[in-house]
Amino acid sequence: MMEYDVPTQADNAILTFDVVNVRAAFPILHQQVHGKPLAYLDSAATSQKPTCVIEAIDDYYRRYNSNVHRGVHKLAEEATHEYEQARVKIARFIGSPSHTQIVYTRGTTESINLVASAWGDANVGEGDEVLVTHMEHHSNIVPWQMLCKRTGATLVVAPIDKTGTLVMDAFERQLTERTKVVAVAHVSNALGTINPIERIIELAHGVGAVVVVDGAQAVPHMQVNVEALDADFYAFSGHKMCGPTGIGVLYGKADRLEAMGPYQGGGDMIKSVTFKHTEYNDVPYRFEAGTPNIVGGIGLGVAVDYLTGVGMDKIAAYEHELLEYGTAALQQIDGLRLIGTADRKAGVLSFVLDGIHPYDMAPILDRQGVAVRTGHHCAQPVMDFFGVPATARASLAFYNTRAEIDQLFVALKKAKEMLA
Amino acid sequence: MSDDTLTIDEIVENFEFLGDWEERFTYVLDLGKRLPEMDEDDMVEANRVHGCQATVYFKPTVIDADPPVIHFDATADAHIVSGLIAILLTMYNDRTAEQILAVEAEPLFEKMGLEEHLSPTRRNGLHAMIKRIRAIAAHVLAGDLPQQEATP
């Protein structure tokens, strides 16, 4: 381990968290790339999967692959049972009062598009405003831009400051009786900023706005309780929380979901169909047209069990200490500028090196076995705000170690040397 | 190219002598440093190659001769991309349309062990640039000299 000047480091969580045991559950981590041990620091893009999730997927296809909600044979019943049980587990995991408030989607992006279409088209009109923040991921900007274009509403952007923190005074002033929707990230993917989501929701509700939370970077890293937050809608992705790709969730308040028309038409979202009229199904099935990602749902249920077993509070504490260690390490590199230095942050280290393009840095880090993301992170307005074309981003998960951060540190030194 | 003595065959040969990735990477960076600077006036939105992680500008000019030759100016803010552009221009710059169409970039990049950089998923604009170079050459060969072309 390197000696960085880690401020106020109480490494209790690091010392007590059994990361060796955790890592044993993730087969992919135990490999070499380009002859170097893999340091996977790209979990904000997608997390790795524990053996239990991989085996659940395998088991489904080997033993009980069948369509859900349709057949009455044994396999169909088991598939339906497991798929619906997963919904119950997910509801419990995020503190949803009922599993009927959990809509399966393809991921956060589809969840947000679903709200923007099914709720937005019916409730947003000309002269209304949709308030987003400057730190949003494109998936929490573009669907609202499209809604505004369809309806004549206006997109309003709440500013951030130099540390990547939402400017709350300005945000408060931008909230008016015209604000119909506040769409905001719980945690910023490009900066790591943890937004004061409870306060945001409280303020938004004060003007009667509906709040749509992009929780993609929050649910994998902290205990989230959607009911306690009082969020109207809360979206997240399975693949960022140890689950399979192509499955995600939209949580909604029961009355909101109940009042919404369908999103897509097709099988499973109907009660009865004639050529004259279709009676739509109950919530949440009304929003789940077609054969769903059955194994994705089941896999996500297993992932939720796994995360619960490790303990979300333990994960949050461990990742926080890892973040402090990583921040201290990167700050020791001359010419390195951290992008996103908010007081409250999740495990995201976005940075640029003076005079070095992230695209030049990436292959050097790769050759040192270090996997980070470079680019605009689907948050071009954030890049514009900080005046950089792109950043490199190391993002942490509970299966990462201080040794991997050391490996990043050494690789960055090497990149500097080669690109000097 | 500022170094007119370096042909693509010589570059390929040089790569054969290089050892590990580090030497090859450094050589690509060196080639990038030799890329002539692009006129600031040409570094405008109309010449921007989109879909790149790096900022890349690319400007083709058809020089009226018999037969016409095509000149390319290009630059990137990332050194590795500049290096790859330098290699590309060594293959294609100031050639006739016929000569351009006779050159296949992929096998040459493969010989240099750089083929991964041509993949569209790399998002460095090279793939788009090659398509564009060939399209312009095809136009010129067909006799319809392109007007101010759109960027690739």
Domain ranges of chain A: 12-30+311-419, 53-309
Q: What is the pLDDT confidence band of residue B148, given thresholds at 50, 70 and 90?
A: very low
- Residues in CB range of A70: below 8 A, 6 or more apart: A76
Which stretch of A132-136, A249-253, A404-408, B52-56 has the lowest confidence by average pLDDT? B52-56
In chain A, the residue whose alpha carbon lies closest to the alpha carbon of B122 is A359
In chain A, the residue whose alpha carbon lies closest to the alpha carbon of B76 is A357
The tally of CA atoms less than 13 A away on the side-chain side of residue A268 is 18
Q: Is the peptide bond before B67 cis (omega within 30 degrees of 0)?
A: yes
What distance in Å separates the CA atoms of residue A35 and residue A303, rounded to the nearest whole number?
31
Instruction: Quote the tokens at residue A102.
Output: 């959990």
Residue contact B80–A358, C-beta within 8 A: no
Q: What is the pLDDT confidence band of residue B53, given thresholds at 50, 70 and 90?
A: confident
Q: What is the pLDDT confidence band of residue A105, given thresholds at 50, 70 and 90?
A: very high
Residue contact B53–A418, C-beta within 8 A: no
What distance in Å separates the CA atoms of residue A194 and residue A36, rounded to the nearest whole number?
33
Mean pLDDT of chain A: 95
The domain B8-141 having CATH identifier 3.90.1010.10: the answer here is yes
- Looking at the complex, report in whole angstroms how far the Cα of residue A365 sits from the nearest Cα belonging to chain B: 12
Q: Give the closest of B55, B80, B123 to A363, CB-based.
A: B80
Q: Is B38's Cβ below 8 Å from some Cβ in A?
A: no
What distance in Å separates the CA atoms of residue A406 and residue A368, rounded to the nearest whole number?
12
SS3 at position A15 = helix
Question: Mean pLDDT throughout B108-117?
Answer: 85
Residue A20's H or E segment, with its range, is: helix A19-24
Q: Give burial (CB, 10 Å; 0-12/13-18/19+) of A412.
A: buried
Mean pLDDT of chain B: 85
Provide the CATH number for the domain formed by A53-309 in this structure: 3.40.640.10
Q: What is the pLDDT confidence band of residue B149, given thresholds at 50, 70 and 90?
A: very low
- Looking at the complex, report in whole angstroms how far the Cα of residue A368 sits from the nearest Cα belonging to chain B: 11
- Give the model's pLDDT for residue A381: 93
In chain A, the residue whose alpha carbon lies closest to the alpha carbon of B55 is A389
Residue labelled with tokens 């919904």: A87
Residue in B132, B152, B142 with CA at minimum distance from that of residue B68: B142
Residue pLDDT, tens place only, A343-364: 999 999 999 999 899 989 988 9
What distance in Å separates the CA atoms of residue B115 and residue B95, rounded to the nearest whole number?
23
Name every chain B residue with its beta carbon within 8 A of the beta carbon of A375: 53, 123
Question: Mean pLDDT throughout B143-152?
Answer: 54
**Are the C-beta atoms of residues A378 and A216 closer than 8 Å to each other?**
no
- Residues in CB range of B118: below 8 A, 6 or more apart: B105, B106, B109, B126, B127, B130
Catalytic residue, from B35, B49, B52, B89: name it: B52
- Looking at the complex, report in whole angstroms how far the Cα of residue B121 sits from the nearest Cα belonging to chain A: 13
CA B17 to mean position of chain CA atoms: 23
Q: Is B22's Cβ below 8 Å from some Cβ in A?
A: yes
Name every chain B residue with its beta carbon within 8 A of the beta carbon of A376: 53
What distance in Å separates the CA atoms of residue A194 and residue A345, rounded to the nearest whole number?
5
Q: Is A374's Cβ below 8 Å from some Cβ in B?
A: yes
Residue contact B77–A357, C-beta within 8 A: yes
Q: Give the closest of A389, A390, A419 to B79, CB-based.
A: A419
SS3 at position A270 = strand
Residue pLDDT, tens place only, A191-246: 999 999 999 999 999 999 999 999 999 999 999 999 999 999 999 999 999 999 99
Residue B79 has pLDDT above 60, yes or no: yes
In chain B, the residue whose alpha carbon lies closest to the alpha carbon of A366 is B21
Name every chain A residue with its beta carbon within 8 A of the beta carbon of B54: 357, 359, 389
- Give the model's pLDDT for residue B143: 81
- Give the model's pLDDT for residue B121: 67
**Looking at per-residue confidence, does B115 or A199 come out higher?**
A199
Question: Mean pLDDT throughout A160-175?
Answer: 98
Residue B150 has pLDDT above 50, yes or no: no
- Give the model's pLDDT for residue A3: 75
Q: What is the pLDDT confidence band of residue A376, given thresholds at 50, 70 and 90?
A: confident
- Looking at the complex, report in whole angstroms how far the Cα of residue A118 sits from the nearest Cα belonging to chain B: 31
Which stretch of A135-149, B4-18, B34-48, B93-107 has the lowest confidence by average pLDDT? B4-18
Question: Mean pLDDT throughout A122-129?
Answer: 97
Q: Is the ipTM of this complex over 0.90?
A: no
Residue B120 has pLDDT above 80, yes or no: no
Tell me the range of A12-16, A164-168, B106-110 where mean pLDDT is highest: A164-168
- Give the model's pLDDT for residue B2: 44
Residue in A189, A219, A221 with CA at minimum distance from that of residue A317: A221
**Are the C-beta atoms of residues A102 and A251 closer than 8 Å to each other?**
yes
Percent of chain A with pLDDT over 90: 87
- Give the model's pLDDT for residue A389: 83
Percent of chain A with pLDDT over 70: 99
Q: Is B79's Cβ below 8 Å from some Cβ in A?
A: yes
The domain A12-30+311-419 having CATH identifier 3.40.140.10: the answer here is no
- Is there a catalytic annotation at residue A52? no
